[in-house]
Amino acid sequence: MPARCFFLLLFMLTSAHALTSAELQQFIDEAVQSKEGSEVVIPPGRHELEKPLIVRDAKKLRIAGLDAETTQLVAAEGIQHALELRGTCQDVWISKLTMEGAGVLAEKTGSLRIDRCFFQNTRHTAITLEGCKEASITGCTVRDGVGTAIELSKDCAECVIRHCNVARCKVGVLLQGVKNCRVEQNDFLECAEATREDQGAAKNRIEQNESR
């Protein structure tokens, strides 16, 4: 992202410090206001979310943890999504975060990247993309989820799921009404179904995946 404006969360940058939903939301809201691109870096810690973090109408935004294993967003009971991308978002990058109990929802987002994130014990789908174009999900790990790990639906197109590890979920990747998407070089362990195409999925490539 050229000409980034950085919003670095520096509140006692240690693994022992936790930020509230309100603090995290404030920094995201401020970052979204930048027209030149911005970055929110979340410090290590167990950050408990009382409600989802909303990213609305963002352009050229990165949300990242300093360390994927120790930067944790822990969703309270009843929360379906830790992060929700709403409105018209473009060129958003989510990386190096661990999400516990809930995952990511993105609606009609262009050029979304979800990279090197961990999702565990999700009560719903870990990653849900609806109507997204040219999104990529790479190098992510999803384990011990109740239902589907990754779902693409509602006319998603030109999306890629690559080099992900999915363990002990009901369905690894579900494609519904999407086209020209690729699911390749992923590893599925102890999933009831590794991949599934439903309801109008067409011209997708599912290849070079391993299911054990």
End-to-end CA distance of the chain: 38
Segment 130-145, tens digit of pLDDT:
999 999 999 999 999 9
Q: Is the model's pLDDT at 195 over the cut of 60?
A: yes
Q: Report the amino acid identity of residue 18.
A: A
Alpha carbon distance 48, 82 (integer Å):
10
Which residue has tokens 């936790």?
18
How many Å separate Cα 173 from the centre of its chain?
Answer: 14
Q: How many domains does the chain have?
A: 2
173-197 burial, b at 16+ Cβ within 10 Å, e below that, comes to: bbbbbbeebbbeebbbeebeebbbb
- Closest by Cα among 111, 174, 109 to 142: 174
Q: What are phi and psi of 27, to 5 degrees?
A: -65, -40
Is residue 129 located within the same domain as residue 203? Answer: yes
Is residue 97 located within the same domain as residue 129? Answer: no
Structure tokens at 211: 């299911």
Is residue 17 located within the same domain as residue 111? Answer: yes
CB atoms closer than 10 angstroms to residue 69:
10
Enter the pTM of the model.
0.91
Is residue 85 located within the same domain as residue 129? Answer: no
Task: Look at residues 119, 136, 168 and tell me which one is the last residue of a structural domain.
Answer: 119
Is residue 110 located within the same domain as residue 152? Answer: no
Segment 55-72, tens digit of pLDDT:
999 999 999 998 888 899
Q: Is the model's pLDDT at 88 over the cut of 80?
A: yes
Is residue 114 located within the same domain as residue 212? Answer: no
Task: Look at residues 101, 119, 137 and tell me which one is the last residue of a structural domain.
Answer: 119
Give the structural domain span for 58. Answer: 1-119
Is residue 101 located within the same domain as residue 153? Answer: no
Concatenating the DSSP letter of every residue in 160-175 gives: EEES-EEES-SEEEEE
Cα separation values, 32 from 68, 70, 155, Å = 22, 25, 26
pLDDT confidence of 3, banded at 50, 70, 90? very low
Is residue 109 located within the same domain as residue 130? Answer: no
Cα separation values, 173 from 26, 58, 132, Å = 33, 26, 16
Is residue 168 located within the same domain as residue 185? Answer: yes
Alpha-carbon Rg for the chain in angstroms: 16
Task: Look at residues 78, 104, 119 and tell me which one is the last residue of a structural domain.
Answer: 119
| 207 burial level (CB within 10 Å; 0-12, 13-18, 19+) | exposed
Is residue 142 located within the same domain as residue 197? Answer: yes
Task: Look at 6 and 44; give whichever has higher pLDDT.
Answer: 44
In degrees, rounded to 5, the angle at the alpha carbon of residue 37 between the alpha carbons of residues 61 and 130 is 30
Is residue 3 located within the same domain as residue 107? Answer: yes
Is residue 114 located within the same domain as residue 138? Answer: no
